[in-house]
Amino acid sequence: MSATRPVKSPSSSHNNADLLVWACFIAGGYERWLDVEELYLKAFALGSNRLSWRTRPDLADYKKCAKALQELEDEKRSDHLGLFLKQGKYQRKLSNDGLKWCQQYGSILTKLYTGSVVPSAVTQEPHKMIRILEKTEAFQHFQRSGDVSTELWQLAESLQCMVDSVQAIWTSRLDALSSYAGTNGRVDVERFVLLVRERLTLR
């Protein structure tokens, strides 16, 4: 299939289309046909935060992977057309244009998908929880001052709970944030969680 519109250079932000093309290259899909399941597993290995189950970050979500490939090959909307060759329902390979694209932008793609943490998509729960946190006064105060000395109700707001919530609720919110921060490379959020835990033990 030849491209119906110019293929864009890789985005400066993470996305599934660029990730799949790069995964095909890393898996050797420029010299042999890959089963889509091998392609999905390689993409998951590079960007597990984006392609995992919601409750099992250690497992690849086949539906998310298949949807990403479907969008990449959508003849009406994709700006990656022409980078993949298709053989039957389950075989994919980089075209010559796909190989050239990966070679041309290899340094960018390596930095985004091989050399650093690939964050979850903006529509996924980890990203949403961190995005909500970033808008709260408690977290903004922490970023300015390095401490969590705001009012307790503001800390509760940042964790999406109530001041009078039982300890188990506070703990579960902090555990979730800590997990999301760790897998998304957010050292600042991990530090915030640590300080909030320390403050709560002094209540």
Return d(Cα 153, Cα 161) in angstroms, integer.
9
Same domain assignment for residues 130 and 196: yes
Instruction: At 125, list the tokens.
Output: 């729960």
Query: Could you say which of 113, 145, 164 is where a domain stops?
Result: 113
Residues forming beta bridges with residue 92, ordered by sequence position: 34, 86
Q: How many domains does the chain have?
A: 2
**Per-position pLDDT tens, the chain of length 203:** 444 567 888 887 788 899 999 999 999 999 999 999 999 999 998 888 788 887 777 888 999 999 999 999 998 888 899 999 999 999 999 999 999 999 999 998 998 888 666 655 544 566 678 888 999 999 999 999 999 999 999 999 999 888 888 888 888 889 888 877 877 778 999 999 999 999 988 55
Same domain assignment for residues 130 and 106: no
Work out the angle at residue 118's Cα, subtended by the Cα atoms of residues 114 and 120, and round it to the nearest 5 degrees.
160
Q: Is 18 exposed, middle or buried (0-12, 13-18, 19+ CB in 10 A)?
A: buried
Decide: helix, strand or coil at residue 60: strand
In a domain, 150, yes or no: yes
- The secondary structure element, H or E, covering residue 156 is helix 152-158
Domain membership of residue 34 as a residue range = 16-113
What is the separation, in whole angstroms, between the first and last Cα of the chain? 64
Query: Could you say which of 82, 113, 144 is where a domain stops?
Result: 113
pTM of full prediction above 0.85: no
Extended beta strands in the chain, E state: 34-35, 84-87, 91-94
Return d(Cα 84, Cα 98) in angstroms, integer.
6
Residues in the chain: 203
